[in-house]
Structure 1
Amino acid sequence: MLLQVNNLVVNYGVINAVKGVSFDINEGEIVSLIGANGAGKSTILKTISGLLKPKSGKIIYHNKEIQAQKAPKVVAEGISQVPEGRHIFSGLSVMENLQMGSFLVKDRSRIKQTFNEVFERFPILKQRQNQDAATLSGGEQQMLAMGRALMANPKLILLDEPSMGLAPIFINEIFDIIKEINKQGTTVLLIEQNAKKALSIADRGYVLSTGKVQLAGTGEELLANEEVQKAYLGG
């Protein structure tokens, strides 16, 4: 078991956003959390990342509790997040954005190797490495945000709405890249409004509603589930 979330309760300001959520992720899986806006999905990712502190509950990563750790320590442990809305650093070049992702990696040769791997996976970033990141298209910025997260050599990557605001051609490409990243050994926790796409690549999924897990199953089971079809797949 790579990650276990046990009975997580998180308040966001005065809102009780997450109300006792439990789920787990095995090494090598793609696990998807789906649910309407306001279901608590992003709050869960931010809490795993150390950006928010839970009111109660446990987050166990590699048999170690991490719910009290600060965000840089969580990254150093091997968890990287690609935030909703990409949050690339404008005014910095593509190359500088990627360098920001490797600031905790001490091994220079490892950084160089990861740069080569990222440029191999995202050739457009190599072509544009000296360009201001703000001038990239939405799809290219999403690739940059993913590349930046991969610079930390994560064991687990958290993806928050990777297809949001992208043209259909880029959406397919981003999902292919997620599968590829997973195939090469990185475990994926995916939050995605496009439930059909998310469940079609997920080993397992959890359906969240009003801060709680309502359903769980394999990606295939949830795609075939009538409740899920009605609520999220337009069935």
Structure 2
Amino acid sequence: MLTVENLSVHYGMIQAVKEVSFEVKQGEIVSLIGANGAGKTTILRTISGLNRPSSGSITFENQPIHKVVPQKIVAAGLCQVPEGRHIFSGLTVQENLEMGAFLRKGNELKEDYQMVFERFPILKERKNQDAATLSGGEQQMLAMGRALMSKPKLLLLDEPSMGLAPIFIKEIFNIIQEIQKQGTTILLIEQNAKMALSIADRGYVLETGQIVLSGSGEELLNSEEVKKAYLGG
């Protein structure tokens, strides 16, 4: 579904991503793990069209997208939930969800609102509330619901557990698995390596802009190298 080949990205003279290659197959949860500054968010932003690669290619459903503008990438079925959530303050929960569907029209939106409210009941309760007044966990649910309103084939999740209480983290990861079971492919970037790998079909480990390990989620969870570096073992 998604193929990244020899991707390099620079910020000025600094190379943040160094010839990274990986793939995401339809129906999978694939996780990228690594420390802060490893290049994880840069990779997602480049896939989404927000950054431009210095070299390499990104292909989504056999179509190159590394030179495509972000709105066309969303229209093709690829949507990102950004790090820090970036909900629209001053707009209600309902209006934030409407923003997620800005490329879509028609009566089917009513069914999609219902789908989001069934998955995130707290959003239905607070649909007329200013999104900025939600808790961190509720804002993460809103950011995910907003992305789902675009009907993505592939959902990019950037640090969905960041800043959340443990009870919310468990709930968010349960929801990620539910979204996958209902047919959406997921590329997950997460500092909580144990949680990410426990739900991932496959994973890649990034260090200083390069992939240094890959394997199934279970293989990486049991890797001594990963345990020492990321799992406190």
Q: TM-score, normalised by structure 1?
A: 0.98
- Aligned: 1:125 with 2:123: yes
**Residue 111 of structure 1, CA deviation:** 1.3
One-letter amino acid matched to 1:101: G
**Residue 228 of structure 1, CA deviation:** 0.3
One-letter amino acid matched to 1:134: A
One-letter amino acid matched to 1:33: L
Partner of 2:154: 156
Partner of 2:168: 170
Specify every segment of 5 or more residues in structure 2 that has no aligned partner in the other structure, as ranges: none
Partner of 1:54: 53
How far apart in 1 are the matches of 2:3 and 2:102?
Answer: 27
Specify every segment of 5 or more residues in structure 1 that has no aligned partner in the other structure, as ranges: none
Deviation per CA, 1:42-67, whole angstroms, max 9, x where unpaired? 00000000001101100011011000
**Aligned residues between the structures:** 233
How far apart in 2 are the matches of 1:151 and 1:91?
Answer: 19
What pairs up with 1:34-183 in 2 under 5 angstroms? 34-106=33-105, 108-183=106-181
SS of alignment partner, residue 104 of structure 1:
coil
Deviation per CA, 1:19-56, whole angstroms, max 9, x where unpaired? 00000010000000000111100000000000011011
One-letter amino acid matched to 2:153: K
One-letter amino acid matched to 2:45: K
**Residue 112 of structure 1, CA deviation:** 1.3
**Residue 14 of structure 1, CA deviation:** 2.9
How far apart in 2 are the matches of 1:125 and 1:15?
Answer: 41
1:196 to 184, 194, 197: 194
SS of alignment partner, residue 81 of structure 1:
strand
Partner of 2:219: 221
SS of alignment partner, residue 154 of structure 1:
coil
After superposing on structure 2, the runs of 4+ consecutive aligned residues of structure 1 that deviate more than 4 Å are none
How far apart in 2 are the matches of 1:84 and 1:141?
Answer: 12
SS of alignment partner, residue 149 of structure 1:
helix
Deviation per CA, 1:147-201, whole angstroms, max 9, x where unpaired? 0000000000000000000000000000000000000000000000000000000
SS of alignment partner, residue 107 of structure 2:
helix
Q: Kindly report the root-mean-square deviation, in angstroms, between the aligned alpha carbons of the 2 structures.
A: 0.6
Q: TM-score, normalised by structure 2?
A: 0.99
**Residue 113 of structure 1, CA deviation:** 1.2
Deviation per CA, 1:125-151, whole angstroms, max 9, x where unpaired? 000000000000000000000000000
SS of alignment partner, residue 7 of structure 1:
strand
